Chains A and B, each alone.
Chain A
Amino acid sequence: MRHIISILIENEAGALSRVAGLFSARGYNIESLTVAPTNDPSLSRMTLVTSGTEEIVEQITKQLNKLIDVVKLQDMTEGIHIEREMMLVKVRATNPQEREEVKRFSDIFRGRIIDVSDETYTIEVTGSGSKLDAFIENLSKIQVLELVRSGIIGIARGEKVLSL
């Protein structure tokens, strides 16, 4: 099963490689990994999407907790939560028909066209991973020139917080 694990980790050189190294050394699988500093500059927040049996995911969280730099950790999948991912897509849109179709899709998915050239549109879409997948599927008639996804970030609903 897919799990989203959020980690507060010391914002120190090498912290990311400790996490990445743990996953490769123990043969765990990482679907995506994002990391950036938090409002407390001494802490980074990492969001890791992984999958495995319950036993494997239990080991993953235990092994992550064992890393000295990991301050706190939460398996988002255990409670109700919101997950978001951002995607930037550059597509070929040369004739009015294509340009109109891309714009229409973009509106339907509540995306935004953030850059325009004579031959291209660049669209920003935000949502759950499956929404982004659906957007790409719908673009099937349009030529995708470049695509970049941020990886998933997540936060618990309600009053539950992951902080010190």
Chain B
Amino acid sequence: MSKVEITGAEIFARSLADEGVDCIFGYPGGAVLHIYDALFKQDKVRHILVRHEQAATHAADGYARSTGRPGVVLVTSGPGATNAVTGIATAYLDSIPMVVFTGQVPTSLIGNDAFQEVDSVGITRPCVKHNFLVKDIRELATTIKKAFYVATTGRPGPVVVDIPKDITAERTEYFYPRKVSMRSYNPVVKGHIGQIKRAIELMTGAKRPMVYTGGGVILDNASDELTELIRMLNFPITNTLMGLGAYPATDRQFLGMLGMHGTYEANMAMHHCDVLVAIGARFDDRVTGNIEKFCPTAKIIHVDIDPASIAKNVKVDIPIVGGVMAVLQDMIKVARGSKQKPDSTELANWWEQIDEWKSKDCLKYDSGSDRIKPQMVIQKLYEITSGDAFVTSDVGQHQMWAAQYYKFDKPRRWINSGGLGTMGFGLPAAMGVQIAHPDATVACITGEGSIQMCIQELSTLKQYALPIKIITLNNGFLGMVRQWQEFFYQGRYAMSYMESLPDFVKLAESYGHVGIQIKKPGDVEGALRDAMKMKDRVVFMDFITDSEENVYPMIPAGAGLNEMILV
């Protein structure tokens, strides 16, 4: 039998197909021309052409967050790679599985300051889970397999594979391994059963229990298990910004989001609880507030797949290293078999206290205003979409309002950059979501500042007929910056006023989309309903909102969770 040799570029295309990748996001350039040629000649992997490499990574990220499958990106060397870095870092901070292929100058030119050469492996090293430079064509397929394996297992994250141009032209036999093992990488899945038993014992003995869960529950697809356990125990639960949707937001036991802009009841319950169960969350500074004042009376149980996340910011009484789903399954089993049940009288007292906090109605706002209140736009969107849309957001006030007022009952519906806080994320992420879910309603909640950071993607939406509904809360300010300047800089609004805004309606129209400007509160609902009816069109809704509205509640820097500023 004669050996069949194919080029590195063909190996690339076939490896992706064999990995089950249906779609990649990218932008061509010199170093990846062989690869683009190979992609052109096949039809298994679809390529979406973005307008800027940053958007390719955010789109792949949105695809990954909404499906659970890894997002895949292809960019060229040099500026292609550097433009992708923001999106890679965004995925890294939120532990999103992603594989980014960067072209590289030919092996013989590496280190020569060649045209469009940067040290992509070096530049991305601090913001990837791992990265590879392929130096031998015989290792190309295996390296691609390893990249997907590392990106999707353990605590997920982005992996970069840098491929020099000459490797894509050389030839070798193709073999794509079904499995790879790496002696230096063996993520745990099962949690220690002894620790799990101790945890359940502590939980069922609690008088004032509180459960706080994060993005890890969503990443491990463990929402059903979480919901089952929490309902069984009748415990109150809060989600982080990254964890919204992991537990149904409309459920009685759900106290809303916690942290800097969390609800009064969630933060007060955190502060006063005697047992805190943290699951797939990492005690981020936006969640804990002043760490010295954090949960002063609580014994803490922490479940996380990443041992480095445990005891990083907060001392933990019962650490459990393991996959969230596996640990929750074991917890359910142990709790069912346990003789000790939660003390219903103590729990009833605790719920009474929580209901009292709830009665503050911390998310109320002036709904009779003659200006459009941003909160109202989100509430109406929630009602009109029956809470069932995929919602992406950018970063700032609109992001917090979206998190507070859109009640997510299902996981993977709320797509936002929580860790890195990347403005410009929302629109391209929505593209990735819509590609993965062609028939779903996808809304991008944004501001007039954020939307301009990746606005070129309006063109991509046109090319691929992706009918995103863009909801711009246009207050003429970089709202969150302005809010901090109002509170902490005596109202000196340095550079937070967005002057010379474009006419968004005309801008949308110039790309072939529908643009609407809404100025009156009475027109909000109608505009949203009209937009949702245009199923096959991009609708850019420019809501002119109350320019000095603030996000409440708020925990100022240095304060504890019980020291919120309410309206």
Contact = CB atoms under 8 A, between A and B. Distances in A.
Contacts of B311: 55, 58
B126 A25 contact: yes
A18 B130 CA distance: 9
Interface residue tally on B, bucketed by range = 10 to 19
A68 interface: yes
A62 B307 contact: yes
Interface in B297-312: 306-308, 311-312
Interface stretch (B167-175, B179-187, B259-267, B394-402): B179-187
Interface in A41-80: 55, 58-59, 62-63, 65-66, 68-71
A88 to B, nearest CB: 31
Nearest to B185: A68
Interface in B109-139: 121-122, 125-126, 129-130, 133
Contacts of A65: 307-308
B324 interface: no
Contacts of A58: 311
Contacts of B122: 14, 17
A66 B309 CA distance: 11
A63 B155 CA distance: 13
B188 to A, nearest CB: 12
A13 interface: yes
B129 A63 contact: no
Given A55-B311, A59-B312, A68 B182 contact: yes
Nearest to A72: B184
Interface residues of A, number: 20
A107 to B, nearest CB: 46
Given A17-B125, A25-B126, A68-B150, A62 B184 contact: no
B450 to A, nearest CB: 27
Select the residue from B126, B182, B185, B308 with max chain A CB neighbours within 10 A. Answer: B308
B308 A68 contact: no
A164 interface: yes
A18 B184 CA distance: 14
A59 B183 contact: no
Given A55-B311, A66-B308, A13 B133 contact: yes
Contacts of A14: 121-122, 125, 133
Contacts of B126: 21, 25
A94 B178 CA distance: 70
B337 to A, nearest CB: 32
Nearest to A15: B184
Contacts of B182: 68
A26 B269 CA distance: 32
Contact of B184 (A17, A63, A69): A69
A164 B186 CA distance: 14
A17 B122 CA distance: 9
Contact of B129 (A55, A62, A68): A68
A68 B125 contact: no
Interface string A8-31: 011001100110010001000000
A129 B226 CA distance: 53
A41 B169 CA distance: 31
A122 to B, nearest CB: 35
Contacts of A9: 184
A43 to B, nearest CB: 10
Contacts of A13: 133
A59 B306 CA distance: 12
Interface in A95-128: none
Contact of A62 (B125, B130, B308): B308
A68 B126 CA distance: 13
Nearest to A66: B308
Nearest to A64: B308
Contacts of A62: 307-308
A164 B307 contact: no
Interface string B225-255: 0000000000000000000000000000000
A103 B58 CA distance: 67
A66 B187 CA distance: 9
A25 B124 CA distance: 13
Select the residue from B126, B182, B184 with max chain A CB neighbours within 10 A. Answer: B184
B183 A164 contact: yes
A21 B125 contact: yes
Interface in B29-49: none
B312 A68 contact: no
A68 B184 contact: yes
A69 B183 CA distance: 9
Interface string B334-355: 0000000000000000000000
Contacts of A21: 125-126
Given A68-B150, A69-B184, A63 B125 contact: no
A71 B121 CA distance: 20
A24 to B, nearest CB: 9
Nearest to B128: A68
Contacts of A55: 311
A59 B310 CA distance: 9
A18 B183 contact: no
A13 B107 CA distance: 14
A59 B185 CA distance: 18
Contacts of A71: 183-184
A105 to B, nearest CB: 45
Nearest to A63: B308
B519 to A, nearest CB: 47
Nearest to B315: A55
A141 B121 CA distance: 50
Given A14-B121, A59-B312, A62-B307, A70 B184 contact: yes
Contacts of A70: 184
Contacts of A164: 183
Contacts of A17: 122, 125
A66 B122 CA distance: 18
A68 B130 contact: yes
A61 to B, nearest CB: 9
B200 to A, nearest CB: 25
A59 to B, nearest CB: 6
Interface of B: 121-122, 125-126, 129-130, 133, 150, 182-185, 306-308, 311-312
Given A55-B311, A62-B307, 10 more contacts: A9-B184, A13-B133, A14-B122, A17-B122, A18-B125, A59-B312, A65-B308, A66-B308, A68-B182, A164-B183
8 contacts: A14-B121, A14-B122, A18-B125, A66-B307, A68-B182, A69-B184, A70-B184, A71-B183
In order of increasing CB-CB distance, the 7 nearest A-B pairs are: A62-B308, A68-B130, A71-B184, A25-B126, A68-B185, A62-B307, A66-B308
